[in-house]
């Protein structure tokens, strides 16, 4: 089973910070992604903040992990319903709905049965019929799936976790940190981020300060000879080799970078106009040419 839903080799280096002010760094693993958190703070404050982050990541995984059979998401997929969902789950599904609508359905978490069928080499007809975010019902009391449906939040949960950790670090008084939970978010800054494509290598760099960046590359991992690990709910082609999105929210950048892989320039522009928190889209075509939107 693929442990990460996409290729992501954004590289980061700190600029404009004294050479002797080395960060406190922690590496771990959460939500199918490598995690690195770099904190610029006195050692005692940094350690307290890291302890808080580790505890929060465990709670986040208990909600959104597909790899934990005891997570709330796994329970929802197994039973088809989830009573009294956690506020994080409610908030994340509201964000899914917003991005689904803004991308005209290109972002759709109900592709999970199709992902499973393709990864197992099974027939896909029933899985394709199960796709349809509009058939998921949500309320503070219950989330319910339609018959045959299951959700993957891998296209947004890493970004959401990044946002939660960034907020936690700000709440304990840190002013400069770089969080990488499959997506990058900067608290303060500036940081320089390099964006890489599987074929073209390093294609550009961006300065990150108090915002986030997420990258999706369909060709980096394949489910089979014909299908990328990033799946279109409509069966649309992958128009781009790599898409990076810069936004205030890492969850938004995460989901948008996934959806935009199957969208044309005009479609991305229309979606971006409906998602004003997106600052920039960097799309790399299959010839290595960059389009900035």
Tokens of 120: 């197992």
The alpha carbons of the chain give a radius of gyration, in whole angstroms, of 19
Q: Where are the beta strands (DSSP E) in the chain?
A: 11-14, 24-30, 33-39, 81-83, 137-138, 142-144, 177-181, 184-187, 191-197, 201-208, 212-216, 242-247, 278-284, 290-292
Residue of 169, 185, 164 whose CA lies nearest to 87: 164
pLDDT one digit per residue (tens) for the chain, 293 residues: 333 333 443 434 433 343 446 899 999 988 888 899 999 999 989 999 999 999 999 999 999 999 899 999 999 999 999 999 999 999 999 999 999 999 999 999 999 999 999 888 899 999 999 999 999 999 999 999 999 999 999 889 999 999 999 999 999 999 999 999 989 999 999 999 998 888 888 999 999 999 999 999 886 655 565 666 788 888 788 889 999 999 999 999 999 999 999 999 999 999 999 999 999 999 999 999 999 99
**pTM (predicted TM-score):** 0.90
CATH code of the domain made up of 1-292? 3.10.520.10
C-beta of residue 145 within 8 angstroms of C-beta of residue 231: no
pLDDT value at position 238?
86
pLDDT value at position 228?
65
* Number of neighbours of residue 21 by Cβ within 10 angstroms: 10
* Number of neighbours of residue 16 by Cβ within 10 angstroms: 10
pLDDT value at position 138?
94
In whole angstroms, give the CA distance from residue 252 to residue 104. 15
């Amino acid at each position: 089973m693929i442990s990460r839903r996409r290729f992501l080799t954004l590289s980061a280096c700190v600029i404009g910070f004294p050479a002797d002010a080395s960060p406190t760094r922690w590496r771990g693993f959460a939500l199918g992604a490598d995690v690195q958190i770099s904190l610029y703070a006195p050692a005692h404050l940094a350690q307290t903040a890291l302890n808080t982050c580790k505890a929060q990541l465990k709670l986040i995984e208990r909600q959104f992990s597909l790899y934990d059979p005891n997570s709330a998401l796994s329970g929802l997929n197994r039973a088809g319903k989830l009573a009294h969902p956690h506020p994080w789950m409610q908030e994340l599904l509201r964000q899914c709905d917003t991005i689904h609508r803004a991308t005209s359905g290109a972002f759709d978490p109900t592709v999970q049965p199709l992902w499973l069928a393709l990864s197992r080499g099974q027939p896909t007809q029933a899985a394709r019929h199960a796709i349809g975010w509009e058939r998921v019902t949500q309320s503070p009391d219950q989330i319910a799936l339609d018959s045959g449906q299951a959700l993957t939040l891998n296209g947004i949960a890493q970004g959401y976790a990044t946002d939660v950790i960034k907020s936690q670090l700000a709440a304990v008084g840190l002013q400069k940190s770089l969080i990488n939970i499959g997506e990058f978010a900067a608290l303060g800054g500036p940081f320089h981020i390099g964006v890489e494509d599987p074929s073209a290598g390093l294609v550009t760099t961006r300065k990150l300060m108090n915002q986030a960046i997420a990258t999706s590359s369909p060709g980096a991992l394949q489910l089979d000879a014909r299908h990328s690990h990033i799946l279109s709910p409509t069966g649309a082609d992958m128009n781009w080799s790599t898409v990076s999105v810069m936004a205030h929210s890492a969850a938004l950048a995460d989901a948008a970078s996934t959806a935009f892989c199957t969208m044309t320039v005009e479609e991305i522009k229309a979606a971006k106009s409906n998602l004003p928190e997106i600052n920039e889209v960097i799309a790399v075509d299959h010839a290595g040419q960059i389009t900035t939107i």
